Chain A
Amino acid sequence: MLSYLQSYLGGDALTPGQAGNQLWALIYILVIFAGVSVVVMAMNWIERKALAHMQVRLGPMRVGPHGLLQPIADALKLMLKEDIIPARADSFVFWIAPLIGLLSAFTVYIVIPFGPTQAVTDMNIGILFMLGVSSLSVLGVVMAGWASNSNYPLIGALRSSAQMVSYEVAMGLAVVSAVLMTSVGGIGMYDVAGDGIGTLSMIGIVQAQQAQHVWFLFKFFPLGLIAFFIFAVAMIAETNRAPFDLPEAESELTAGFHTEYSGLRWSLFMLAEYAAMVAVSSIAVTLWLGGWLRPFPNALAGPTWDFIFSLFPGLTFLALGAIGMFGFVRMPAHPFFRVQKLGLGGFAAVLALIGVLLLAIPFAARGHEGTILAGFAAGLSAVYWFIAKVAVFMYLYIWYRATFPRYRFDQLMSVGWKVLLPIALAVLIATAAVGVLIPVIQVWFKGRAG
């Protein structure tokens, strides 16, 4: 046990699942579960604040300093609400529908690689597993709509699920393009000889990007970019977010599949939605944005650049703490605000402390390469970059919601089938063609030169 931990933190062990170490896998699962729950609550706050600031207003300001305790208040309220089950509703299906959505959203996290060994396990079919499990969330939606025993939720659920199923096709094809890129060596540069064997495992995909010295976003330009955009659009439609949120919009006639759900059951749907958002963002980051790799691993290589980039986690937390301190200073000195001021100051101080700690680790690990501390620092850095990239996606989600109008349902379906699917197919064929032709061209050139 301890030897596994030592070798793991040293940085060249396997993931707990691969090593067969169930206890650490369980601990990882618990950490991920708690982390995702915290992230969902944080997303709730960030969404309301960011949306509000984009709409020239402030958002929640009362519950806690700058509304920081608002998610907790919302969670408490939802737990205390009356649990209404519609009459003549199928209570078993009504009960199980949010659980299915939640299960499928959370199961995806088993294969998400937060770092080179920081995943619960690394399946050989990792990406396929993720696609499969996220397609199970459609069942939750359909069942929720049907179990409500009411016309409008049923129509909303059928629309929602039709939309999700349609965009899954385009999503899958974009994923296949990215997987194809793992099996092709980087265009003769850096002497990366592709032996033609790709990989479906998530960690393998990021390692392929590392070996080929290129994020798949920029590979075979513009094919990687187009595939990424297709996936980015499809993932927004998958998670029923704006601009594809007609089935759950308020101003439409059908009010969505979760109309009849109240209190804690509704919060389970919300939890599943945000968890699914983070999950598909993680897929996008892993496949195209280089997962846990720091920016410019090859252009700015070397131990000094490594060190500079490993300071980023600490600096981020210090920056957050500084923003909190700024808010603390600007709060009015009125006695009404005393508790809020203290709370905000304490929160900012905690953030700054975490930042200082995270800064200290790379400094301490500077001299000692290859030790546990260095491995720990590397792992920390990897996890930070992964989470930072996913955070960018989360912000993009909120930004789209504030900016875009909604697509009408038939326009939504026509975009999914008539625009995204042909482009995804074209990109797939083009990627395959380029991938096959490049070694041929290389050999031909070598033959001409030599």
Chain B
Amino acid sequence: MTPIATPFFFYLLAGTMIIGGVLVITRRNAVHSALALIVALLAQAGMYLMLYAPFVAAVQIILYAGGIMVLFLFVIMLVNLERAQKERQFNRIWPVGLLSAFALGLLFVGVYSKGKTLLPSEMMQIPESSNTQEIARYLYGNYMFAFEIASLLLLVAIIGAVVMAKKRI
């Protein structure tokens, strides 16, 4: 299937992501920040689609926007945030923030100028229809060990959360 209006959609999605990201850090209300983050994550799912990775896009929506953000919202709503809203923002460390942003910018510039030689010249043309199968092949084939370690890590996190939260096992 031939792609349609690629630059338009790219700028649309990238713009949405950037605006969403900026809104996350500038809103006073924590719930508004979470909503902006959801918008940014959905735009990112769209970007994955443009990279011919539909499986990752769908999983991004299911897990990130539909699971992790719900968790964020739970925490925001259960914790009393009015006190936090009245506190001063951490504006005293702005020199450090400026320095790190400058370093990040240098990194971006470096990657952009050198990057064209770092990456292969053409995008790997993996057909979109077999994206899921290819991911499965690599995930359960070459990277099986990493997959198992990641699942073990998640198990440790779950058990830790349960142990810390329960009053009495």
Give the complex CA separation of A158 and B74 in angstroms: 7
- Indicate whether A125 sits within 8 Å of B58 (C-beta atoms), given known contacts A132-B66, A138-B66: yes
CB pair A146 B131 closer than 8 Å: no
Give the complex CA separation of A310 and B132 in angstroms: 37
User: Within 8 Å of chain A (Cβ to Cβ): is B47?
Assistant: no
**A137 (CB) vs chain B CBs: closest residue:** B66
User: Within 8 Å of chain B (Cβ to Cβ): is A93?
Assistant: yes
User: Within 8 Å of chain B (Cβ to Cβ): is A442?
Assistant: no
Which of A92, A128, A145, A172: most chain B CB closer than 10 A?
A: A128
Please name all residues of chain B whose beta carbon is closer than 8 Å to the beta carbon of A172 when the two chains form the complex: 62
**A123 (CB) vs chain B CBs: closest residue:** B54
Give the complex CA separation of A142 and B128 in angstroms: 35
CB pair A139 B70 closer than 8 Å: yes
The number of chain A residues with a CB under 8 A from chain B is: 31
CB pair B66 A158 closer than 8 Å: no
Please name all residues of chain B whose beta carbon is closer than 8 Å to the beta carbon of A449 when the two chains form the complex: none
Please name all residues of chain A whose beta carbon is closer than 8 Å to the beta carbon of B57 when the two chains form the complex: 125
* Interface size band for B: 20 to 34
Main secondary structure of the interface of B (DSSP, over half): helix
Please name all residues of chain A whose beta carbon is closer than 8 Å to the beta carbon of B54 when the two chains form the complex: 123-125
Q: How far is the CB of B106 from chain A (nearest CB, A)?
A: 37
- Indicate whether A136 sits within 8 Å of B66 (C-beta atoms), given known contacts A124-B131, A128-B55, A146-B31: yes
Please name all residues of chain A whose beta carbon is closer than 8 Å to the beta carbon of B66 when the two chains form the complex: 132, 135-136, 138-139, 168
CB pair A125 B70 closer than 8 Å: no
Q: How far is the CB of B162 from chain A (nearest CB, A)?
A: 12
CB pair B70 A165 closer than 8 Å: yes
Which one of B32, B35, B65, B128 contacts A136 once the chains associate, using CB atoms below 8 Å? B65
Main secondary structure of the interface of A (DSSP, over half): helix
CB pair A128 B65 closer than 8 Å: no
Q: How far is the CB of B144 from chain A (nearest CB, A)?
A: 15
User: Within 8 Å of chain B (Cβ to Cβ): is A102?
Assistant: no
Which one of B32, B59, B65, B70 contacts A93 once the chains associate, using CB atoms below 8 Å? B32
Please name all residues of chain B whose beta carbon is closer than 8 Å to the beta carbon of A145 when the two chains form the complex: 77
CB pair A158 B78 closer than 8 Å: yes
User: 1/0 per position for A87-98, CB-CB distance to B under 8 A?
Assistant: 000101100100
Which of B2, B35, B58, B67: most chain A CB closer than 10 A?
A: B58
Give the complex CA separation of A145 and B62 in angstroms: 21
CB pair A139 B59 closer than 8 Å: no
Give the complex CA separation of A146 and B79 in angstroms: 12
- Indicate whether A124 sits within 8 Å of B132 (C-beta atoms), given known contacts A93-B35, A132-B58: yes
Give the complex CA separation of A168 and B65 in angstroms: 14
**A133 (CB) vs chain B CBs: closest residue:** B61
Give the complex CA separation of A245 and B70 in angstroms: 20
Which one of A20, A92, A135 contacts B1 once the chains associate, using CB atoms below 8 Å? A20
**Which A residues are within 8 Å of any B CB, using their own CB?**
18, 20, 90, 92-93, 96, 123-125, 128-129, 131-133, 135-136, 138-139, 142-143, 145-146, 154, 158, 161-162, 165, 168, 172, 197, 200
Q: Apart from A124-B128, A124-B131, A125-B54, what are 10 other A-B pairs with CB-CB below 8 Å?
A: A90-B29, A93-B31, A93-B32, A124-B129, A125-B132, A136-B66, A139-B38, A139-B73, A142-B73, A197-B133
**Which B residues are within 8 Å of any A CB, using their own CB?**
1-2, 29, 31-32, 35, 38, 54-55, 57-59, 61-62, 65-67, 69-70, 73-74, 77-78, 128-129, 131-133
For this complex, 16 residue pairs linking A to B, each with C-beta atoms less than 8 Å apart, are A18-B1, A90-B31, A92-B32, A93-B31, A125-B131, A128-B55, A129-B58, A131-B58, A135-B61, A136-B61, A136-B66, A138-B70, A143-B73, A154-B77, A161-B70, A161-B74
